[in-house]
Amino acid sequence: MTEDEIRRGIITVSTPQKHCFWFKRVITDLIKNADDRNAGKFVDKTYGTDHSSIDESAQHLLSSLREKVLPTALPATNVLQYDVQWTKEGISPNASAEHAEYLEKLCTDVFNVLSSMIQEAIGEKETSDNKDSVAEEVLQHALFCQRKGLSCHGRGDFLQLVRQSFLVNDKRQVVILHGESGCGKTSIMAKIAVEIRKWLKPESAIVVLRFIGTSPESSSIRLLLRSVCHQLYTITDNDVGEIPEVSFMHSQITS
């Protein structure tokens, strides 16, 4: 998980105390054992040096995020801390009874927290007024796209290639953007979405935005597909009542 994802998921949301929990594991003597073979799985080290050389810059940034930023964003009741000691095998329930106990408690805590959040969300959904959830979903993703797109700078040559792909080829052209995690795909996609109607004739462009995982409705494939179908039916003046139910869509996807 990148720092940007942590900031979007916890720090910049409106009510993190309702939806965000931090399961914080602290290996109390990790730095003292930084020269162990497995320590690099739990602490950043500088590339190409000996096993005990810690990346001080990365460690400083992580400490700032962990000790200053996150505690400010989350109330203490949303932070569950687990202190354990190091073993030569890293975190291993076979090598340490303390680790086995920690993992058991972690699993129990995660289950209890998620169960409580799900039950609370069900209660809120049942008592909430009948708002247009699809419109809210579209607005949420549009605002996220606008923030990302406006903050994206550079990549001009790449954006021109994408633009040419849309303009030169026929209307069935598909452009796939791929790359390693953290390379900036989300920002580029947002920039494209912001610019696409300028590239094409406005009346020929229908922009459907979903940044998967940024909202509850985009975290499940069935809910995501239904939301997209609902938006497409609405903007093309079709009857949304014709959209299959979620259970039917699920059978179609899996069959």
Q: What is the pLDDT of residues 197-209, one digit of tens each?
A: 778 776 667 788 8
Per domain, the residue ranges of the chain are 3-127, 133-254
DSSP state of 25: E
In the block, tokens 């179908």 appear at 229
Which band of pLDDT confidence, cut at 50, 70 and 90, is reported for residue 96?
very high
Alpha-carbon dihedral angle through residues 35, 37, 39, 45, given to the nearest 10 degrees:
70
pLDDT of residue 222: 84
Which ranges of 128-184 would DSSP assign to H, the alpha helix?
133-151, 156-168
Nearest of 193, 196, 158, 163 to residue 178 by alpha carbon? 158
Residues 127, 148: Cα–Cα separation, whole Å: 33
pTM for the model: 0.49
Poorest-pLDDT segment among 5-9, 51-55, 102-106: 51-55
Report whether 164 contacts 132 (CB < 8 A). no
pLDDT of residue 104: 95
